[in-house]
């Protein structure tokens, strides 16, 4: 029996609650642990703000989006005496092992705490699916489904009005959501951060389609982190950066709306899906993946497998070193993008 701490950090995504439920159910029923959930990510640990998680207060959350614990982008290592405060809070509450659920920022803190001697087990989370050492993260499939349904809807209005609609989806460093939803939704062009785009080429695809296929509308799917070739920067929605140094991306679809209209003469409209992609109920796939990650994380915490992260490899859940997940982002598979490209224009 041990005292286990749990937190959810960074941007939320569908599937976080299934992870929490998995940790609590197996942690209490099988291992007899006491589980504490820190509120609002690392902020809750810094402030020692936690609630005891029980079967009762984690029941009925499997299908719910977001996180019952709340989240934040608080950076322990940008906070004065951050590490000391975290270690003091964990000691005061008698926490033996901490399970942070998050992306590279949150898990980067987990890794540093582990290196400082505190037992941690990470659970990977990113809607962008760009965390290394795991094939998928939960929430990604749900986001792809939401984006695909949006692209389906954009098709009918684009067709009615003979318009080019540019649909902006999430994807800071990697174009997984753009590529998957673009392929599933039959997009005519997909633009991703991994491949800086050439505007003339984009317009060439659209013009070719309109002039040679009898189609007088097009759908362009663009990841928010996509940028023009020749050293262009990704569009930003604000001048500020978060505590991990990330700019707030957004606006590329509106830029392209003007540029494509100017170059092709076709009427263009921009649609930004934004946080709709991260909200609401997780798909079955993400509920199952979240549940498996939660159960595997409490197993690892109970077996002394610290400094590790649970990961999906093929169909199996395995443990990897936290540092393997954090070395660099998992970029789009070039073969997948090449396949998407068959349908451009």
Residues that bind ligand F6P (CB under 6 A): 11, 126-128, 170-172, 224, 249, 278
By three-state DSSP, how is residue 278 classified? helix
By three-state DSSP, how is residue 107 classified? helix
Exposed e or buried b per residue across 191-210, where buried means at least 16 C-beta atoms within 10 angstroms of its C-beta? bbbbbebebeebbbbbbebb
Taking only Cα atoms into account, the Rg of the chain, rounded to an integer number of angstroms, comes to 22
Count Cβ atoms below 10 Å from residue 25 Cβ, excluding itself: 18
Give the burial class of 264: count Cβ atoms within 10 A of its Cβ; 0-12 exposed, 13-18 middle, 19 or more buried: middle
The nearer residue to ligand F6P, 194 or 224, going by C-beta atoms, is 224
The nearer residue to ligand F6P, 171 or 282, going by C-beta atoms, is 171
Task: Give the CB-nearest residue to ligand F6P.
Answer: 170
The nearer residue to ligand F6P, 136 or 343, going by C-beta atoms, is 136
Rounded least distance, CB 196 to ligand F6P, Å: 18
Pairing of strands 236-241, 247-249: antiparallel
Q: Which of 12, 105, 128, 286 is catalytic?
A: 128
Rounded least distance, CB 307 to ligand F6P, Å: 24
The nearer residue to ligand F6P, 204 or 279, going by C-beta atoms, is 279
The nearer residue to ligand F6P, 198 or 328, going by C-beta atoms, is 328
Helix axes 140-161, 176-185, angle to 10 degrees: 50
Write down the residue that tokens 């997009």 correspond to. Answer: 187
The answer to whether residues 190 and 336 touch, using CB atoms and an 8 Å cutoff, is no
Active site residue 333: no
Residue 120 backbone class (left: φ over 0; alpha: ψ -120 to 50; beta: rest):
beta
Ordered alpha helix ranges (H), the chain: 16-29, 42-46, 82-92, 104-115, 140-161, 176-185, 199-212, 252-264, 284-303, 322-326, 334-341
The answer to whether residues 177 and 209 touch, using CB atoms and an 8 Å cutoff, is no
Rounded least distance, CB 223 to ligand F6P, Å: 8
Rounded least distance, CB 65 to ligand F6P, Å: 13
The nearer residue to ligand F6P, 119 or 122, going by C-beta atoms, is 122
Ordered alpha helix ranges (H), 213-333: 252-264, 284-303, 322-326
Rounded least distance, CB 167 to ligand F6P, Å: 15
Rounded least distance, CB 169 to ligand F6P, Å: 9
Please list the active-site residues.
Answer: 128
């Amino acid at each position: 029996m041990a005292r286990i701490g749990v937190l959810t950090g960074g941007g939320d995504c569908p599937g976080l609650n299934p992870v929490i439920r998995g940790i609590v159910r197996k942690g209490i029923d099988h291992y007899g642990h006491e589980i504490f959930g820190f509120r609002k990510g690392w902020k809750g640990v810094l402030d020692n703000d936690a609630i005891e998680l029980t079967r009762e207060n984690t029941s009925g959350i499997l299908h719910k989006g977001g996180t019952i614990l709340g989240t934040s982008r608080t950076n322990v290592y940008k906070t004065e005496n951050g590490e000391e405060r975290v270690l003091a809070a964990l000691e005061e509450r008698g926490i033996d092992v901490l399970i942070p659920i998050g992306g590279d920022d949150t898990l980067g803190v987990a890794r540093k705490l582990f290196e400082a001697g505190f037992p941690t087990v990470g659970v990977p989370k990113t809607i962008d699916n760009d965390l290394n050492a795991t094939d998928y993260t939960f929430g990604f499939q749900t986001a792809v489904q939401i984006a695909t349904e949006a692209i389906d809807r954009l098709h009918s209005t684009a067709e009615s009005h003979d318009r080019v609609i540019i649909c902006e989806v999430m994807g800071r460093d990697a174009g997984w959501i753009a590529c998957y939803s673009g392929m599933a939704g039959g997009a005519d062009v997909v633009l991703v951060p991994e491949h800086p785009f050439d505007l003339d080429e984009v317009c060439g695809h659209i013009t070719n389609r309109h002039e040679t296929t009898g189609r007088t509308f097009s759908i362009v799917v663009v990841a928010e982190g996509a940028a023009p070739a020749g050293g262009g920067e990704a569009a930003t929605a604000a001048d500020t950066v978060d505590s991990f140094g990330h700019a707030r991306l957004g606006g590329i679809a509106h830029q392209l709306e003007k540029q494509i209209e100017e170059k092709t003469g076709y009427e263009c409209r921009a649609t930004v899906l934004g946080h709709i992609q991260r909200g609401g109920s997780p798909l079955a796939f993400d509920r199952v993946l979240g549940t498996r990650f939660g159960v595997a994380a409490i197993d690892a915490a109970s077996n002394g497998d610290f400094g590790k992260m649970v990961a999906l490899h093929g169909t199996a859940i395995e443990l990897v070193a936290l540092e393997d997940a954090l070395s660099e982002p998992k970029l789009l598979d070039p073969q997948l993008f090449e396949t998407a490209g068959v349908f451009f224009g």
